[in-house]
Amino acid sequence: MRKRKPFRKGQKTAHSGVQREHSGAGGLWLYGLHAVAAALANPRRKVLRVVVTPRAAEELGDSVHRFHPELAEMDAISRLLPTGSVHQGAAVLSENLPKLDLDEVLASPNEGRRIVVVLDQLTDPHNVGAILRSCAAFEVAAVVVQDRHAPPESGVLAKAASGALDRVPYVEVVNIARALEDLGRMGFWRIALAADGEMNLREAAPLSDIVLVLGAEGAGIRKLVRERCDSSARIPISNAMESLNVSNAAAIALYEMRRD
Amino acid sequence: MRKRKPFRKGQKTAHSGVQREHSGAGGLWLYGLHAVAAALANPRRKVLRVVVTPRAAEELGDSVHRFHPELAEMDAISRLLPTGSVHQGAAVLSENLPKLDLDEVLASPNEGRRIVVVLDQLTDPHNVGAILRSCAAFEVAAVVVQDRHAPPESGVLAKAASGALDRVPYVEVVNIARALEDLGRMGFWRIALAADGEMNLREAAPLSDIVLVLGAEGAGIRKLVRERCDSSARIPISNAMESLNVSNAAAIALYEMRRD
């Protein structure tokens, strides 16, 4: 991150006076330099408090001052967060992001092929966070999850996403199968990624807009969801292994689709 | 996993009598169906105890009976393991694997291009486990780590590796830079994977044997290690993101190298 000029003297510090605030109505602590930088840069994110070490404030650059940050020691920030959170000296209390509508997200203009990633009941926030990170890296237009079977917006998810939670539209829908029907009507080619996929990944994707559907580790993609797909694809791997980690499989599939 | 015939009647059960055993001299609990199946199938793994539910015993198949498994309930198995371990009804107490020598591992005959993965001070067992899993899936000849800066063989590592810890040679060396010099002498082309790599990944790999070097998240590859590489490669991603999760980057690189 960019360097900024030294921290302004006389600024209020809170070395011992940082108050713990339970994340009640809509309050959500995000932490880690990348996650905090992305949260502050996201105009849709309502920031309530910013607590940083002087060093983290420098790393975050001038923009952090718009949010009147409280300066604190590493220990004091640790006490605001769940035990063991790797916060790197930066934490933000914010409201949850406003809910997004898939139609509106996809209505905005785009260049080149659009990719939408659909997660069918993946619940591990580390995996979903890593997938969001890869989705931002490969310019995915939206990540679609089922509202009642997805990890909620959380510090763990945002940290694993390394800023991507505030960059990639994360759309919660009531019904995944219905969302796939809608995407089909919008002209997307829907591919189920599965170990028993009928085609090799590199042959499965036409040049049109694409939906990539991923299932949970173990359970896989549910039957009624897979039935809404136009084809299924597999990543060729050794017979010795049944499958890849789901975030690794997602990364490979996105790489292949962006690999002209 | 393959189904087996119903569990033999009269076999000793231990529904309430499972004793907790602290992993003392070389004792190591592995858990999860894939990790346990691979441990039992690995002739180099000395198994001390096998504790399974009747259902997991069925999943594991006939081979489990050679190890005189103790039958137990899910709860009893949970009490043998660290809190929160997702064991799926299967746990094995074993000795640590015997140490491997890189020369010996690479002396065994091989077909086609060999790939060795070198992890420079990666310590997160989830990431290293997921990388091992991808290494097994893409038929990597060996994973090399620095003995004092790598996650030890553990239940968490083995679970994340989903059986790969018992399939891919995991070689601990004292000095990564020296191991790279040795690999160079053996004819391997050494590629550092880095966000600022000089070449696009797909152009970086010749058809010879390859070493892929990965650095820790944040710190990256140490200078003295990178200096031992023949070239550096990057995965092309959006400017909006600094990097991918390291296990996702590893998966993409291995996929690209096996993608004829």
Contact B252 A251 (CB under 8 A): yes
Do the interacting molecules here have an ipTM over 0.85? yes
**How far, in Å, are B140, B186, B224 from residue B182 at the CA level?**
18, 6, 15
Does residue A16 form part of some domain?
A: no
Chain A hits for B112, CB-CB cut-off 8 Å, are none
- A108-161 pLDDT, tens digit per residue, is 777 788 999 999 999 999 999 999 999 999 999 999 999 988 888 899 999 999
> What contacts B152, CB < 8 A, 6 or more positions away?
none
Whole-angstrom distance, CA of residue A142 vs CA of residue A114? 9
A199/A80 same-domain check: no
Strand order in the sheet with B27-31: B27-31, B90-95, B47-52, B70-71
Are B32 and B88 within 8 A, CB to CB? yes
Distance from CA of B9 to the nearest CA of A (A): 30
Please provide the average confidence, as pLDDT, over all residues in chain A: 89
* Over residues B159-178, mean pLDDT: 95
* Percent of residues in chain B assigned helix, strand, coil, to nearest 5: 35, 20, 45
A7 DSSP assignment: P
Distance from CA of A169 to the nearest CA of B (A): 14
Q: Per-residue b/e over B35-64, b at no fewer than 16 CB within 10 Å? A: bbbbbbebeebebebbbbbbebbbbbeeeb
Q: Report the candidate in B9, B11, B29, B10 with the shortest Cα–Cα distance to residue B19.
A: B29
Distance from CA of B259 to the nearest CA of A (A): 9
Does residue B2 form part of some domain?
A: no
CATH number at residue B60: 3.30.1330
Q: How many structural domains does chain B have?
A: 2
B75/B144 same-domain check: no
The number of C-beta contacts closer than 8 angstroms across A and B is 98
**Does residue B115 have a pLDDT over 90?**
yes
Does residue A239 form part of some domain?
A: yes
Are B29 and B49 within 8 A, CB to CB? no
**Does residue A11 have a pLDDT over 80?**
no
B59/B166 same-domain check: no
- B130-158 pLDDT, tens digit per residue, is 999 999 999 999 999 999 888 888 999 99
> What contacts A24, CB < 8 A, 6 or more positions away?
none
Question: What is the extent of the structural domain holding A74?
Answer: 23-94
A165/A207 same-domain check: yes
Whole-angstrom distance, CA of residue B14 vs CA of residue A111? 62
pTM score of the predicted model: 0.88
Does residue B18 form part of some domain?
A: no
- Can you tell me which residue has the tokens 């840069």? A41
Interface of A with B (CB under 8 A): 34, 126, 130, 133-134, 136-139, 160, 162-164, 167, 202, 235-238, 240-245, 247-252, 255-256, 258-259
Are B144 and B101 within 8 A, CB to CB? no
